[in-house]
Amino acid sequence: MSANKESWGSRVGLILAMAGNAVGLGNFLRFPVQAVQNGGGAFIIPYLVCFLVMGIPLLWIEWSMGRFGGKHGNHSTPYIVDTMGKHRLWKYIGVFGIWTNIAVAAYYCYLESWTLSYVFHSVLGTFNGLDQEGVAAFFDTYVSIGDSTLGIPYEAVVFYIICLLLNTWILSQGLSGGVERVAKIGMPMLILFGVFLAFKGFTISAGEAGAVNDSSVGLNFLWTPNFDELWSPTVWLAAAGQIFFTLSVGMGTVHCYASYVRSKDDIALNAMSAGWMNEFVEVVLGASILIPISIGYLGVERVTELVQSGGLGLAFKTLPFLFTQWGEVLGAIAGVMWFGLLFFAGITSSLAMGTPWIGFLQDEFKWERKSAAWSFGLIVLILGMPTVLFFHYGVFDEYDYWAGTVSLVVFALVETILFAWVFGMDKGWREITSGADIQVPNFYRYIIKFVTPLLLLWVFIGSLVTPKGGDWAKAFAGDWVLDDSSIINKIKNTSLKRQLAEATDPAVIEQLQETLFFVNASRILLVTVFLSIAALVYIAYKKRVREGRI
């Protein structure tokens, strides 16, 4: 039995921590862009369907698996998963729940550090007097490691280390004294900042403070439905993918948080509360800031161009300039609120990422909380530094794709099969409903057993063999050419190799060769970390055998 006796201080703290785990940067940066690119208002239909038949079931599965594992003294995914099935290989599937969090934290904390830095620059008034190109140039300078915007050598590295130290220190204070306390402060502040900025987004008037459109133009651009897109499998895949991003399912963090829930405590209502709080933040607040404000000042055509590069360009290269249109004081306040909001969204998620590793060391090797937390910080620093130093060579994107995208789908698919078909739906349903403060609809038994795994399988296969341009009709007609975004072509580096073959400029060729090297090196590093964690799980297993715990 584990000597790990930590627990949550209150139900409110647990729900806020779980919601904070789910509410992340993607709620504000990824969701509005996904909506624009996939049918606008029509996107909300597949999005909500996926939330109901995949998101909620996965939340209940992961909460119940976590609580069940916690009853047996397990607080990390390898042995939480191991309690659900008799085969000894299950624990190695659970390695995904540690590896994914370490790998995601490695680059996520870097992105989080940008928000911390931009809060600082908003207070200093760095963006005052800069046009949009100037703000964009500021960002490019910031992520170019040899340059500095403050006179601080290696500024991006410094802020990354500060952010990582802050995360590690909070984790070292424990669940109730660290993580829960931050969630109780961070989540209300996030919502408060979001409401203020959403109000500004809703009240933009053409001709005031340089605005070229009323707020209605941006809202219509975002939410005008294109129902033709509803029949596209690509849109449904995008909606399902967004559910993974937004709920943080398939990572192992929910399992580990839930493992500290008392055995008779409710999980059904808690999971729903955390899930719907995330949906409110994403659909209501997340959709009311980035796109409406940008279109209000830049117009539809310009924002359409910027959307193609994703939410990061709008958030860091555009909004700081737009806030200055409101005057120096209000612009500074808006900048602090926007990047403060992103920081709180980021840190409440990144803190969750440390929990599986810390729980594993506490359970299996009897480490103290502080030592385990600082070891997490050190590992993330080592693994994450390449994303900082070689950002322009695609290392950041590789970590995000393999650990933050593909891994989530694989782990979610396997854990759903384990829960519904190996552990068994009868036992699984009893675990979900035990101590429940709500009446869980009985039809979810069949959704969890049949619909959710089939949908997850479809998401995985669809991502594996995505047809060129997302043209599924052409693919099913027999002309199936893989898109560069498919997992298969990603593994083969098809896009990079084609660019390299077509390049004639020696400087471009050299740049592409270096990028290809760093992309492959980052994959080798990620695989090495996964195998190292698997080796530790094996050592822990042998230790359990010697101690008679198996």
pLDDT for residue 312: 84
Q: Is the pLDDT of residue 306 over 90?
A: no
Whether residue 481 contacts residue 466, with contact meaning beta carbons closer than 8 Å, is answered with: no
pLDDT for residue 3: 56
pLDDT for residue 2: 54
Q: Is the pLDDT of residue 461 over 80?
A: yes
Mapped to the 3 state alphabet, what secondary structure does 463-527 carry?
HHCCEHHHCHHHHHCCCCCECCCCHHHHHCCHHHHHHHHHCCCHHHHHHHHHHHHHHHHHHHHHH
CA separation for the pair 164, 168 (Å, rounded): 6
pLDDT for residue 269: 97
Alpha-carbon Rg of the chain, whole angstroms?
A: 23
The label of the residue with tokens 């900082």 reads 388
Nearest to 318 by CA among 296, 337, 340: 296
Task: Please report which confidence band the pLDDT of residue 179 belongs to, taking 50, 70 and 90 as the band edges.
Answer: very high
Whether residue 293 contacts residue 200, with contact meaning beta carbons closer than 8 Å, is answered with: yes
> What is the pLDDT averaged over residues 23-29?
94
Q: Is the pLDDT of residue 51 over 60?
A: yes
pLDDT for residue 146: 67
Number of Cβ within a 10 Å radius of residue 192: 14
Which CATH code for domain 11-546? 1.20.1740
pLDDT single digits (tens) 91-101: 999 999 999 99
pLDDT single digits (tens) 322-381: 999 999 999 999 999 999 999 999 999 999 999 999 999 999 999 999 999 999 999 999
Number of Cβ within a 10 Å radius of residue 477: 9
Nearest to 470 by CA among 484, 458, 455: 484
Q: Is the pLDDT of residue 168 over 90?
A: yes
Judged on CB neighbours under 10 Å (0-12, 13-18, 19+), 41 is: middle
Per DSSP, the residues of 131-174 read: -HHHHHHHHHHHHSTT--SSS-TTHHHHHHHHHHHHHHHHHHT-
| Mean pLDDT rounded to a whole number for the chain | 94
pLDDT for residue 423: 97
Rounded to the nearest angstrom, the gap between the alpha carbon of residue 124 and the centroid of all alpha carbons in its chain is 30
Residue 214, H or E segment: none
Q: Is the pLDDT of residue 1 over 70?
A: no
Q: Is the pLDDT of residue 170 over 90?
A: yes
Number of Cβ within a 10 Å radius of residue 310: 14
Q: Is the pLDDT of residue 83 over 70?
A: yes
pLDDT for residue 232: 86
Q: Is the pLDDT of residue 316 over 80?
A: yes
Per DSSP, the residues of 365-389 read: H---HHHHHHHHHHHHHHHHHHHHH
pLDDT for residue 254: 97
Whether residue 282 contacts residue 34, with contact meaning beta carbons closer than 8 Å, is answered with: no
Range of weakest confidence among 284-288, 357-361, 449-453: 284-288
pLDDT for residue 550: 75
Whether residue 201 contacts residue 271, with contact meaning beta carbons closer than 8 Å, is answered with: no
pLDDT for residue 245: 84
Whether residue 320 contacts residue 65, with contact meaning beta carbons closer than 8 Å, is answered with: no
pLDDT for residue 197: 97
Range of weakest confidence among 102-116, 140-154, 377-391, 447-461: 140-154
CA separation for the pair 444, 420 (Å, rounded): 11
What is the rounded end-to-end Cα distance, in angstroms, of the chain?
11
Range of weakest confidence among 59-68, 79-88, 266-275, 306-315: 306-315
pLDDT single digits (tens) 196-233: 999 999 999 999 888 999 999 999 988 999 888 888 88
Residues in the chain: 550
pLDDT for residue 147: 67
pLDDT single digits (tens) 526-536: 999 999 999 99
Rounded to the nearest angstrom, the gap between the alpha carbon of residue 451 and the centroid of all alpha carbons in its chain is 24
Residue 217, H or E segment: helix 215-223
